[in-house]
A and B are shown apart, each in its own frame.
Chain A
Amino acid sequence: MTFKRVAAASVAALMVASPVMADLVFPSLSYRTGPFAAGGIPYADGFADYMTLLNERDGGVGGVKLQVPECETAYNTEKGVECYEATKGEGALAYNPLSTGITYQLIPKATADDIPLYTPGYGRTSAANGNVFSHVFNFPANYWNGASAAVNHLLDLNGGDLKGKKVILLHFNGAYGKEPIPTLTALGEKHGFEFSTIPVDYPGQEQKSQWLQIRREKPDYVLFWGWGVMNQVAVQEAANIRFPMENFIGVWWSGAEHDVEPAGAAANGYKAVAFHGVGHDYPVFDDINKYVVDAGKAAGDGSNVGTVIYNRGVYAAMMLAEAAKKAQEIHGVKDITSGQMRDGLEQLEITNARMAELGMEGFGPEFKVSCANHGGPGTAAISQWDATAGKWSLISDFGPSDMDVIQPLITADSEAYAAENKIEPQCK
């Protein structure tokens, strides 16, 4: 990290740096401070490190260097808006804000500015309907796929029959935590399990009464949608009441190393849904270590490489880089615009062969994005925490989710949005 010491600090500093058009710019609206820093740091590191890897190893994408200007949001929507406006002028090609709140904010803005949003595994679930949300992409999986994947796992455990079982969703009492409720209610009706919810208010430092309630009601399974301090406390409290950890399943934002480590050995067996591979047994991480960490160019101190959230940052960066490559191919230019980037995302195709080339074989599913489907295949796997080995491992393959239930929900929600905002369907 070099320091450009600039002495003059005048009010003119409020002006944004002049645009650098020659590079492919992917701003990283990260949060390395504030209540969600624990998850924000590894994600931002992974995102930046993969882009650095492409620059160092391949000289960028299609010969054009990548640039990742970082902007701190502290998970705060207002700072998110400021960051968006500040980086927009630098020729941003796509945004990946890692915050459901900021995503909601940016959906209309970015669409109007013709800049795509890529929100893998978070944000507005119904944005999977590309017909309405032309500039939002949330492949390969969204919250509703995650909820369905968790239920599918429960079906597997019970030989396909969940009748009479009791499932509780413990969730963050906000936009993010409420997302899976419609899907789980619908799935409950379909499979005949009894479904109820227990909300936890921000920040979730204190969850005693929620867990006492769980202890009283003796549910067969607890599903969990948390983020921030809520994760560590929930895992600890579950261990405290001796809830069988293998019956406690979190979404992918509640399944990182730092979520389970404070609880120590008691967290053994805790499960989480995953939409990409875990661990560092992929060739791409060797490259990251070789070209980025060892070269002293890593965004963090390199200790996060291979952790769950870091991997997610790498995965997201990989998708954006692939989409940029696709956009270059479609339009035959090197310096793509954000509109062309959108086309690249919409026609993106990820094959297993390509994943292997990238050193990420089996890291994620094969899929193809289309105009109508911006949500990808919606496949997800289940991962489990091994406290003695101190690592997560996948215990199932990437399986499909119940699109019969999810698709009507996506259609209904996105069409309500289209009607409210008078959006014409974009696909012919």
Chain B
Amino acid sequence: MSEQLLFAAEVTLNGLMAGVLYALVALGFVLIFKASGIFNYAQGVMALFAAMTLVGVQQGQIPFSHLINAIFGTEIHHFPWHVPSIIAIIAAAGVMVGFAWIVERYILKHLVGQPDIILFMATIGLAYFMEGFGDLMWGSELKTLDVGLPQGLNETVLDATDKLFGYGFFLDNLDIVATLIAALLVAALTIFSQYSKQGRALRAVADDHSAALSVGISLRFIWVLVWSIAGFVALVAGIMWGAKSGVQFSLSLIALKALPVLMLGGFTSIPGAIIGGLIIGVGEQLFEFAIGPLIGGATQNWFAYVLALIFLVFRPQGLFGEKIIERV
């Protein structure tokens, strides 16, 4: 095989891996949108907050220590212990469930039946609040996240491809792990929504709110449930991205990576989010590889959107979105 073709294959493979990570973030959006019709702007901030909580618990940081020190003039920063990763992850997931409950109790409950744009706006307010709250709770400095995920070049892939093609492919261990976890997560979600009672209720709500209410499904419980799951997905996304870059403000911007995925896959489809993620991941990497050098590079930010835009012109509801039927 020619060298260029091999390079392209390597880029495609890495694009697929990146796409899985995008899909993971997009999944959080889709879940909430499906169940409550809310475009949750706060999803990115939730990922940041979840990752911050994880690191904070793990390293025994005292929440609000900066605030406490400022008010009482004390000098406290850390508890004298370190918590094992797995317990910290469970604790962070617990915090996200609590967060979901608070969101439902104090925000969503009061906004039932409002137009989409109002709910969208409420999540904007929520995002602002969380951004300040997270920083206040755990501090805004950079935190190193280490839950024992492998990182770096995968030897097996390198050797295998080297033998096969004479050119060793690069694959990041972290990406491979992320792909596995994402696959597990999607499988678990599918099983949950197909075979459990709550899952069936969830699908009923997604189908038709009022019909579900009329057969006795508690909308409020479903909302807490779905925000909890979205919080958990945010935690996983936060761990995957945070392991690479450390936990810091920029983590909340990964939401931007999910938007073109959503457009492409449709706001209401879980398979759409995954396939959309893969297309965007591969598309932007290949474009940067093939065309990027000709026009000066750094094209990723806009190419994903332009790609999605072109798709949408031909299919306005996204790849797997529900067909838009309009009546007068």
Q: Which residues of A contact B (CB under 8 A)?
A: 1-3, 32-35, 37-38, 41, 173, 197-201, 203-206, 208-210, 212-213, 215-216, 228-229, 232-233, 236-237, 239-242, 258, 261-262, 264, 266, 296, 301
Instruction: Return chain B residues, CB-CB under 8 Å to A37.
Output: 140-142, 248-249
Question: Is A201 a contact of B301 with CB atoms below 8 Å?
Answer: yes
Contact A229 B292 (CB under 8 A): no
A300's closest neighbor in chain B, by CB? B141
| Contact status B11-A209, CB under 8 Å | yes
- Is B5's CB within 8 Å of the partner chain A? no
Whether A205 and B241, one on each chain, are in contact in the complex, defined by CB atoms closer than 8 angstroms, is yes
List A contacts of B152 (CB < 8 A): 239-240, 242, 266
Question: B297–A199 contact, CB under 8 A?
Answer: yes
Interface string of B1-37 (1 = CB under 8 A from A): 0000001001100100010000000000000000000
Q: For chain B residues 276-308, which have a beta carbon within 8 Å of chain A?
A: 284-285, 288-289, 292-293, 296-298, 300-301
CB distance from A402 to the nearest CB of B (A): 27
Partner among B73, B153, B293 whose Cβ is within 8 Å of the Cβ of A240: B153
Task: Flag if B142 contacts A212 (CB, 8 Å).
Answer: no
Chain A hits for B285, CB < 8 A:
208-209, 212
Are the CB atoms of B250 and A35 closer together than 8 Å?
A: yes
Contacts A38-B141, A41-B141, A240-B151; is A203 near B250 (CB within 8 Å)? yes
**Contact residues in A for B244 (Cβ distance below 8 Å):** 232-233, 236-237, 262
Q: In the complex, which of the residues B77, B135, B254, B298 contacts A301, with contact meaning CB atoms closer than 8 Å?
A: B77
**How far in angstroms is the closest Cβ of chain B from A53?**
19
Distance in angstroms from A72 CB to nearest chain B CB is 11
- Whether, in the assembled complex, B246 has its beta carbon less than 8 Å from a beta carbon of chain A, the answer is yes
User: Which residues from chain A contact B297 at a C-beta distance below 8 Å?
Assistant: 197-199, 210
Q: Which residues of B contact A241 (CB under 8 A)?
A: 153, 170
Contact of A33 among B151, B249, B254, B284 (CB under 8 A): B249
B70: CB under 8 A from chain A?
A: yes
**A-B pairs with beta carbons under 8 Å apart, 15 shown:** A1-B70, A2-B73, A38-B141, A199-B297, A201-B298, A204-B250, A208-B14, A209-B11, A212-B11, A213-B293, A232-B245, A236-B151, A236-B245, A258-B246, A262-B144
Query: CB-CB < 8 A to B14: which residues of A?
Result: 208-209, 212
- From known contacts A1-B70, A38-B141, A242-B153, infer whether A229 and B248 are also in contact, taking CB-CB under 8 Å: yes
CB distance from A387 to the nearest CB of B (A): 13
> What is the minimal beta-carbon distance from A82 to any residue of chain B, in angstroms?
18
Residue of B nearest to A302 (CB): B75
CA distance A376 to B204 in the complex (A): 71
Any A CB within 8 A of the CB of B215: no
Q: In whole angstroms, what is the CA distance A209 to B16 when docked? A: 12
CB of A41 within 8 A of CB of B140, answer yes
Which residues of chain B are within 8 angstroms of A203 by Cβ–Cβ distance?
250, 253
Q: With A and B bound together, what is the CA distance between A199 and B296 in angstroms?
A: 8
Q: Complex: how many Å from CA A186 to CA B14?
A: 35
* B165-194 interface (Cβ within 8 A of A): 170, 172
CA–CA, A2 and B140, complex, Å: 22
Residues of B within 8 A of A237 (CB): 244
Q: Which A residues touch B7, using CB under 8 A?
A: 216
B248-282 CB contact bits vs A (8 Å, 1 = yes)?
11110110010000000000000000000000000
B301 to chain A, nearest CB (A): 5
Q: Is B71 an interface residue (CB 8 A)?
A: yes
For B11, the chain A residues whose CB sits under 8 A away are: 209, 212
CB nearest neighbor in B for A241: B170
Identify B298's interface contact among A199, A229, A232, CB under 8 A.
A199
Q: Is the Cβ of B298 less than 8 Å from the Cβ of A205?
A: no
Complex: chain A residue closest to B175, CB-CB:
A208
Complex: how many Å from CA A21 to CA B15? 60
A262 touches B71 (CB 8 A): no
Nearest residue in A to B249 (C-beta to C-beta)?
A35
Q: Contacts A38-B248, A209-B11 hold; do A201 and B141 have CB atoms under 8 A apart?
A: no
Knowing A201-B300, A301-B77 touch, does A206 contact B170 (C-beta < 8 A)? Answer: no
Measured in the bound complex, the distance between the Cα atoms of B66 and A1 in whole Å is: 11
Complex: A240 Cα to B77 Cα, angstroms: 33
Chain B residues near A34: list those with CB within 8 A.
Answer: 140, 249
Q: How far is the CA of A213 from the CA of B8 in the complex (A)?
A: 11
Set of chain A residues within 8 Å of B70, measured between Cβ atoms: 1, 3
Asked whether A1 lies within 8 Å of B73 as measured between CB atoms, the reply is yes
Q: Output the nearest chain A residue to B77 by Cβ-Cβ distance.
A: A301
Residues 125-159 of chain B, each 1 if its beta carbon lies under 8 Å from chain A, else 0: 00000000001000011101110000111000000
Residues of B within 8 A of A1 (CB): 69-70, 73
B240–chain A nearest beta-carbon distance, Å: 11
Bound CA span A126–B47, Å:
41
Q: Are B75 and A301 in contact (CB under 8 A)?
A: yes
CB pair B288 A209 closer than 8 Å:
yes
- Chain A residue with the shortest CB-CB distance to B132: A33
Give the residue name and chain of the B residue nearest to A229 (CB): B250
How close is B171's CB to chain A, nearest CB, in angstroms?
10
- Given A33-B135, A209-B292, A212-B170, are A233 and B71 also a contact pair (CB < 8 Å)? no
Residues of A within 8 A of B254 (CB): 205
Nearest A-chain residue to B252, judged by Cβ? A35
Question: How near does chain B come to A243, taking the closest CB pair, in angstroms?
Answer: 11
Contacts of B170 in A (CB 8 A): 212, 215, 240-241
Is A240 a contact of B172 with CB atoms below 8 Å?
yes
List the 7 closest A-B pairs by CB distance, nearest first: A38-B142, A229-B250, A199-B298, A262-B246, A203-B250, A209-B288, A37-B140
With A241-B153, A261-B144, A301-B77 in contact, is A212–B245 under 8 Å at CB? no
Q: How far is the CA of A228 from the CA of B285 in the complex (A)?
A: 23
Please report the C-alpha to C-alpha distance between residue A296 and residue B244 in the assembled complex, in whole angstroms.
35
Q: Which of B7, B71, B146, B248 has the most CB of A within 10 A?
A: B248
How far is B172's CA from A254's CA once the two chains are assembled, in angstroms? 23
Q: Which of B65-123 contact A (CB under 8 A)?
A: 69-71, 73, 75, 77
CA distance A198 to B170 in the complex (A): 19
**Chain B residue at smallest Cβ distance from A257:** B142
Decide: B250 and A33 in contact? CB cutoff 8 A: no
- Taken together as a complex, chains A and B put the C-alpha atoms of A276 and B297 apart, in Å, by 34
Min C-beta distance of A166 to chain B, whole Å: 15
A213 x B141 contact (CB < 8 A): no
CA distance A240 to B154 in the complex (A): 9
Instruction: Contact check, A209 vs B75: say whether CB atoms are below 8 A apart.
Output: no
Say yes or no: B246 contacts A32, CB within 8 Å: no
Contact residues in A for B140 (Cβ distance below 8 Å): 32-34, 37, 41
Chain A residues with Cβ below 8 Å from B298 are 173, 199-201
CA–CA, A280 to B17, complex, Å?
A: 42
Question: For the complex, what is the distance from the CA of A212 to the CA of B292, rounded to whole Å?
Answer: 13
